[in-house]
Amino acid sequence: MRPNWRIVSAVFLSVCLAVLMIIHGQNRNSPENEPDVNQFPIVDYDLEKNNPKPTIRGKKYHNKYAPRIGETSRGIFIVDDWEVGLSALPVSRSSAVIIGKITDAQAHLSDDETTIYSEFTVRIEKVLKEDTRIQLTVGNSAIIERVGGRLRLPSGTIVIARRNHQDLPHVGKRYALFLSHEFSDGTKYDDFQLLTGYELRSGRVFPLDKLLPGHPIRSYTDTDEASFLNDLARTLAN
């Protein structure tokens, strides 16, 4: 018996439309699970090369397995398991915990030109966990770092770098920040690496990072700031 191709075509078209509707629906919800890369700090390649920085700063982000960023590069997406085992309030893994507002952000290119990272200036409002290496003082500023950012090449091409499920802080916003001295290469430096954080906005709390449903950090999404800070204080006390 020969198939009725009109019926087969109609069914196939219906399935395709259903799939497209599902994809479209997923895409409508996806922005909340993806960082807004247009807000990432950006640096010009020529400006970065003409303003050399201390070797130790760029060395932390060397990647011997990655090619140098060039005109054929379109993006750098680093995938690892940084969030595995991370608690909602990772104070035990943090060298310091602070609350403050981001006042400046600068993107940089690693010395070996394989990675883009960003430095953020945060004006300290509260020090919830003191650091043993660096004195953190209310009213002063601290520099924190994280992989990710944008690089504008001489041709005008913009290369975006980011790590899976991570976002970058935005200038002008207030955060509770969990800081570590351990960087992705496993080495501990005096500089601060951003482990994770929460935006504090209009009395509510929102995780900085775009973690998958079920991760402990998601439990504080759109919760009351006072309640969050009470939980954080209890965790620090213990």
pTM of the full structure: 0.84
- Residue 176: φ, ψ to 5°: -95, 125
Shared domain for 137 and 219, answered yes or no, is yes
Shared domain for 27 and 55, answered yes or no, is no
Shared domain for 2 and 85, answered yes or no, is no
Neighbours of 35 (CB within 10 A): 19
Shared domain for 103 and 215, answered yes or no, is yes
pLDDT, residue 62, reads: 85
Closest to 122 in 3D by CA, of 145, 143, 136:
143
> Which long-range CB contacts under 8 A does 11-15 form with residues at least 24 apart?
none
Shared domain for 177 and 231, answered yes or no, is yes
Shared domain for 42 and 28, answered yes or no, is no
Bridge pairing between strands 188-201 and 174-182: antiparallel
Taking only the tens place, the pLDDT of each residue in 124-137 is 999 999 999 999 99
Q: Which amino acid is at 222?
A: D
3-state class of 97 per DSSP? strand
Burial (Cβ within 10 Å: 0-12, 13-18, ≥19) of residue 71: exposed
- Cα dist from 159 to 9, 112, 155, whole Å: 43, 16, 11
Placement of tokens 């900085």 in the chain: 208
Number of domains in the chain: 2
Shared domain for 4 and 119, answered yes or no, is no
Give the model's confidence band at 33: pLDDT under 50 very low, under 70 low, under 90 confident, else very high. Answer: confident
Placement of tokens 């290469």 in the chain: 185
Shared domain for 23 and 78, answered yes or no, is no
Placement of tokens 């200036």 in the chain: 121
Show the domain range for 153.
Answer: 36-237
> Which residues pair with residue 152 across a beta bridge?
44, 158
Shared domain for 96 and 70, answered yes or no, is yes
- Do the beta carbons of residue 224 and residue 203 sit within 8 Å? yes
Pairwise CA distance, residues 34 & 167, whole Å: 8
Shared domain for 3 and 74, answered yes or no, is no
Taking only the tens place, the pLDDT of each residue in 71-127 is 999 899 999 999 999 999 999 999 999 999 999 999 999 988 999 999 999 999 999
Q: Report DSSP letters for 37-63, one per residue.
A: GGGS-EEEHHHHHTS---HHHHHTT--
Shared domain for 23 and 102, answered yes or no, is no
Shared domain for 5 and 105, answered yes or no, is no
Residue 86 DSSP code: -
Residue 32 DSSP code: G
Average pLDDT score over residue span 141-154: 96
Mean pLDDT check: name the lowest of 37-41, 48-52, 115-119, 217-221.
Answer: 48-52
